[in-house]
């Protein structure tokens, strides 16, 4: 491989620094406060950029005093940078990240490398082995953090692959450590180029991770009722449409239920809207607890909720809603007792009975019947299943 001159390597470092600044700008503009861990990650990137300087001294010895061990200084910066990346990942995935530990943690790892190298080893090869051993540990703990997220997020997947490659590379170098000076300019050039590329790719992967999580968070907030945690109309209608299409292809039953909390206005008038909000939250939590994980619970508007029960015929839906109605009436907390009225509609059989508008209209008609007596559940199936009372 031809040796690149220091000017070329300097240009590469400038380009990296520019990309580094752009990534910082993007993270601040597009992610804002949701970029948890980004500052610590960029601190690690800064340490890795600083590590390029003593390596450049391998090409231009005049850049460092002769008494300074350029390789040791490089190892200290790289280890500190890797530690800051580990701390950034920990802060990001932790529900309660500790503030102020990032700076101290990275410096501690870097100083530990310097102290152990100075006290324990005189040989450059032994110091390299110590460095690679520390890096193996750091990449292993970073893999432990990213692995659970790799199936869901492309950014975490890219980081996992990068960390796995770096772990393997350090294991190989741990077993084949040698005096780097034997490689001369070729070693220094390779380190600068590969280190710059890997640092840039890792930073972009972490940024992608943050962006994906931010997009998921926005989508969740857009489809979820902020008060109860149930789906809202925007969130439930596409899923109901998809479920009806799936069921129509196989002829499987689908039941929906429109639920209304009886005399809910009296709760707000007598106890205040704060108590009324708690009553709504209680019903949403009861629904999630009693129904299956495959069922959908959505706040339809005000005190009305829509329940979607896939692969459920009318009789089974009636049993489930009666169980929910009884649980609602028997709630033993300090909140006012509020009963439930519900109307069920079921589609099964012919393709035309799986039309969403018609199904919702039929459920609304059954809810109207239920509210004539209150605290009751009414249903009338659509399609092949016979009606039951």
pLDDT tens for residues 180-216?
A: 554 455 656 666 667 777 888 888 888 888 888 888 8
pLDDT at 225: 94
pLDDT, average across residues 150-170: 91
Mean pLDDT score of the chain: 82
Burial (CB < 10 A; 0-12, 13-18, 19+), residue 92, is: buried
145 falls in which pLDDT band (50, 70, 90)? Answer: very high
pLDDT at 247: 93
Minimum mean pLDDT range among 64-68, 247-251, 351-355: 64-68
pLDDT, average across residues 32-47: 80
Higher pLDDT, 331 or 370: 370
Identify the three-state secondary structure at position 299: strand
Percent of the chain with pLDDT over 70: 77
DSSP tag of 29: I
Q: What is the per-residue pLDDT across 258-291, written as a single tens digit (0 to 9) for each?
A: 999 999 999 999 999 999 999 999 999 999 999 9
**pLDDT above 60 (res 100):** no
**pLDDT above 70 (res 140):** yes
pLDDT at 218: 86
389 falls in which pLDDT band (50, 70, 90)? Answer: very low
pTM for the full model? 0.73
pLDDT at 384: 42
pLDDT at 69: 64
Percent of the chain with pLDDT over 90: 41
7 falls in which pLDDT band (50, 70, 90)? Answer: low
Beta bridge partners of 305: 259, 299
pLDDT, average across residues 287-296: 94
**Of the candidates 53, 263, 71, 261, the residue with the CA atom closest to the CA atom of residue 178:** 71
Which CATH architecture does the domain made up of 233-383 adopt?
2-Layer Sandwich (3.30)
Identify the three-state secondary structure at position 106: helix
Minimum mean pLDDT range among 138-147, 167-176, 370-379: 167-176
49 falls in which pLDDT band (50, 70, 90)? Answer: confident
Sign of CA dihedral 119, 123, 129, 135: positive
Edge-to-edge strands, sheet with 254-261: 296-301, 304-310, 254-261, 340-348, 377-383
125 falls in which pLDDT band (50, 70, 90)? Answer: confident
96 falls in which pLDDT band (50, 70, 90)? Answer: low
pLDDT at 386: 40
Higher pLDDT, 140 or 126: 140
Q: What is the per-residue pLDDT across 210-248, written as a single tens digit (0 to 9) for each?
A: 888 888 888 888 999 999 999 999 999 999 999 999 999
**pLDDT above 80 (res 168):** yes
Contact between residue 98 and residue 37 where contact means Cβ atoms under 8 Å apart: no
State the Cα–Cα distance between residues 72 and 125, nearest whole angstrom. Answer: 11
């Amino acid at each position: 491989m031809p040796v690149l001159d220091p000017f070329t390597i300097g240009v590469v470092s400038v380009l990296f620094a520019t990309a580094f600044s752009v990534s910082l700008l993007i993270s601040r503009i597009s992610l804002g406060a949701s970029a948890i861990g980004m500052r610590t990650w960029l601190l690690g990137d800064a340490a890795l950029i600083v590590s390029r300087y003593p390596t450049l001294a391998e090409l231009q010895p005049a850049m460092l005093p002769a008494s300074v061990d350029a390789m040791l200084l490089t190892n200290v910066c790289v280890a500190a940078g890797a530690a800051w990346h580990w701390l950034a990942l920990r802060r990001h995935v932790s529900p309660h990240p500790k503030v102020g530990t990032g700076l101290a943690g990275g410096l501690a790892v870097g100083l530990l490398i310097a102290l152990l190298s100075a006290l324990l080893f005189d040989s450059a090869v032994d110091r390299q082995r110590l460095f690679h051993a520390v890096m193996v540990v750091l990449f292993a703990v970073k893999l432990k953090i990213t692995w659970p997220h790799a199936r869901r997020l492309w950014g975490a997947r890219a980081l996992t692959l990068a960390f796995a490659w770096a772990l393997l590379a350090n294991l190989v170098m741990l077993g084949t450590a040698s005096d780097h000076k034997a490689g001369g300019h070729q070693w220094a050039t390779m380190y600068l180029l590969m280190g710059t590329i890997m640092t840039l790719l890792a930073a972009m992967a972490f940024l992608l991770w943050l962006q994906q999580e931010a997009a998921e968070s926005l989508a969740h907030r857009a489809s979820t009722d902020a008060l109860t945690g149930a789906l809202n109309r925007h969130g439930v209608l596409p899923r109901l449409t998809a479920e009806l299409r799936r069921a129509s292809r196989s002829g499987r039953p689908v039941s929906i239920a429109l639920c209304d909390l009886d005399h809910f206005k009296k709760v707000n008038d007598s106890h205040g809207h704060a108590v009324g909000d708690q009553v709504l939250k209680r019903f949403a939590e009861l629904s999630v607890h009693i129904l299956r994980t495959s069922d959908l619970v959505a706040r339809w508007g005000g005190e009305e909720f829509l329940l979607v029960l896939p692969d459920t015929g009318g009789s089974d839906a009636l049993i489930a809603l009666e169980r929910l109605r009884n649980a609602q009436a028997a709630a033993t907390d300090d909140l006012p007792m509020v009963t439930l009225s519900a109307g069920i509609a079921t589609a099964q059989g012919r393709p035309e009975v799986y039309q969403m508008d018609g199904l919702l209209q039929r459920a609304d008609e059954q809810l109207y019947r239920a509210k004539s007596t209150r605290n009751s559940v009414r249903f009338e199936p659509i399609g092949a299943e016979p009606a039951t009372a």
